[in-house]
Chains A and B, each alone.
Chain A
Amino acid sequence: MKFGIIQFPGSNCDQDVYHALADVLGQPVRYIWHKDTTLGDVDCVVVPGGFAYGDYLRTGAIARFSPAMKAVIDHAKAGGLVIGICNGFQILCEAHLLPGALIRNRGLKFICDHVHVRVETTDSPFTNACKKGQVLRMPIAHGEGSYFAEPKVIEQLKHDDRVLVRYCTKDGKLTDAANVNGSLDNIAGICNEGRNIFGLMPHPERASEELLGSDDGRLIFESILQGAAAYQ
């Protein structure tokens, strides 16, 4: 599986994603500069975390218009795999590749901590290596990670089984306390109708090795490796 990681001015998780994919999982990976108009030979695009364009105006608002994102949109519309992590999720929403938006955490504080998320469905190229209901421990690091969408959009997401992960307790319960940023319906990650685009706020690349405190995040990448073919 050939991965391409977009680098915007202000991205800061690109190297962690590279390490997880190339060094830990042994996959071919390349960086894609935000000004590049083509992605190159890539199966799965990663839009990494950070503060693309300094989050100026709105997080992800300017990044979505970069030449590389135009190529990502074409790739996604053709059914190519895209995973947006944290700032990447924000950018995918601004680019309208995913519905809704990420707004300021309800407590207003930037939260940098390990959280638990529950896998709501294994029916996706990104969660098929997990078990339904499995709890994954991954870090979050964001000030604007609260998922918002109009009620009919939330209903559609639920109806289509497109909420892939929700914030939960370590025992897998969906409580308000576990929902540290105030996301609607404890939503931590969603996919599009075609199930080829995934956006999530937690960082699986920072939970791909035991050394970093958890390797649960590895399952997201392993899902892409083992199960993506079924969705192509």
Chain B
Amino acid sequence: MKAKIVVMPKKTVLDPQGKTVKNALESMSFKGIKDVRVGKFIEVELAGGNKAALKKKIDKACHDLLSNPVIEEYSFEIR
């Protein structure tokens, strides 16, 4: 069982890394890019158990450690 977590900077936060990546893509002649934002992907391999309970635990882990809610938002799925 794996929790696949995506952590992204909030839209209200300046993402100079994303802008730099956008510039780099455009310098590769890649046209039509409106915006680029760079985040993190975290994979947590779980021993198994009740999915609803695990969902709650992962949500807490995301809120307390894996993301900083001041500057980031997260989403995840458990499969």
Contacts and interface: CB of A to CB of B under 8 A. Distances in A.
Contacts of A125: none
B77 to A, nearest CB: 20
Contact of B65 (A61, A99, A100, A150): A61
Interface string B1-35: 00000000100111011001000000000000000
B54 interface: no
B68 A106 contact: no
Nearest to A62: B65
B78 interface: no
Interface string B35-79: 000000000000000000000000000000110101100000000
Contacts of A149: 70
A65 B71 contact: no
Contacts of A65: 65
A57 B71 contact: no
Contacts of B13: 103, 148
Given A57-B66, A61-B65, A148 B16 contact: no
Interface in A152-177: none
Contacts of B14: 103, 106, 146, 148, 182
A148 B71 contact: yes
Contacts of A99: 70
Interface of A: 57-58, 61-62, 65, 93-94, 99-101, 103-108, 146, 148-150, 182
Interface of B: 9, 12-14, 16-17, 20, 65-66, 68, 70-71
Rank and list the top 10 A-B pairs by shortest CB-CB distance, nearest first.
Answer: A101-B70, A101-B71, A108-B16, A106-B16, A101-B68, A58-B68, A103-B71, A148-B71, A148-B13, A104-B16
Given A58-B68, A146-B14, 6 more contacts: A57-B65, A93-B70, A103-B71, A104-B16, A150-B12, A182-B14
30 contacts: A57-B66, A58-B68, A61-B65, A61-B68, A62-B65, A65-B65, A93-B70, A94-B68, A99-B70, A100-B70, A101-B68, A101-B70, A103-B9, A103-B13, A103-B14, A103-B71, A104-B16, A106-B14, A106-B16, A107-B16, A108-B16, A108-B17, A108-B20, A146-B14, A148-B13, A148-B14, A148-B70, A150-B12, A150-B70, A182-B14
